[in-house]
Structure 1
């Protein structure tokens, strides 16, 4: 009986101690900036005559903005979203992940993670050193070109990412 009471008291102390933990404060991309970056990426690719879709997700990989050029293929919608999700989840450009998969047999299993698309075109969006979201672009005739449009869009918004 005494052991039971002692164990219960210890459990209450442990539970009570965790209730006083401090709350987390996280930076995240606002929807207005997500839309702006997506529009800028589609425009950057349009300047090179590429019809793409750009998706911007928040730090958790949840879609915040999606912009599809008038003549972008229907497959580009999911490709852009998956690239953005992959980049936000890994906090890494998807081109770097694709390189790692090609060079490292152990990294090849990354392609089997549900929702991941390990193709170039996904880029983290950072405020300082903190990843607040990611952009994925799909539809240009090469992932490197998708990534260039994504990078141009982030660069255009750099003044707001402080």
Structure 2
């Protein structure tokens, strides 16, 4: 092979080496709520519920459903921490609000079976938290007089931090 052939061969190898590999990456990068923001989210939701006269528990979970923050107002019922955690976990793992899951999982509907899965709570009050279109966590509120009131407090909490998440 002459020197011109080696140049073409080396150029071909360089092209192969520099071409992106189509195989999956070995590592995945994701965003998650910083502890201070998760706490601020919970505190804002709790303050909103207190202004409405509700004694509640608030849970904030990361994108995988693992609890980051749990707050319980002093007179909130004993069941509220577990329910708030389950609402947040449900919202995060199904990537949907619990009120939406309630709607699509009515008896006789195709998704009705999700109500029977361990740990799933499909009562309003669980919301996903997104940043730049990506799930970064979820919040669950329990103890207000109804899932819609729980969800209103959760939404107020999310709105209070959203400006810090959008980029």
SS in 2 for 1:123: strand
Structure 1 residue 21: deviation in Å? 3.2
SS in 2 for 1:51: coil
Please give the per-residue CA displacement for 1:87-136, whole angstroms capped at 9, x wherever unaligned.
Answer: 00011000000011127522110111111111110000000210100000
SS in 2 for 1:105: coil
Which range moved further: 112-121 or 43-52? Answer: 112-121
Q: Structure 2 unaligned segments of length 5 or more: list them.
A: 1-20
Instruction: Give the corresponding residue for 2:155.
Output: 151
Q: 2:57 aligns with which of 17, 36, 53?
A: 53
State the distance in 2 between where 1:56 and 1:78 align: 12
Q: 2:143 aligns with which of 139, 143, 153?
A: 139
Instruction: Give the corresponding residue for 2:41.
Output: 37
Structure 1 residue 31: deviation in Å? 1.1
Instruction: Please provide the CA RMSD for this pair.
Output: 1.6
Which structure has more helix as a fraction of its residues? 1
SS in 2 for 1:102: coil
Please give the per-residue CA displacement for 1:34-65, whole angstroms capped at 9, x wherever unaligned.
Answer: 11111111110100100000000000000000
Aligned length: 145
Please give the per-residue CA displacement for 1:66-99, whole angstroms capped at 9, x wherever unaligned.
Answer: 1111111110000000000000001100000001
Task: Specify whether residues 103 and 112 from structure 1 end up closer, same or farther in structure 2 by C-alpha distance, changes over 3 A only.
Answer: closer
SS in 2 for 1:82: helix
The equivalences for 1:69-148 within 5 A come to: 69-102=73-106, 105-148=109-152
Task: Specify whether residues 73 and 24 from structure 1 end up closer, same or farther in structure 2 by C-alpha distance, changes over 3 A only.
Answer: same
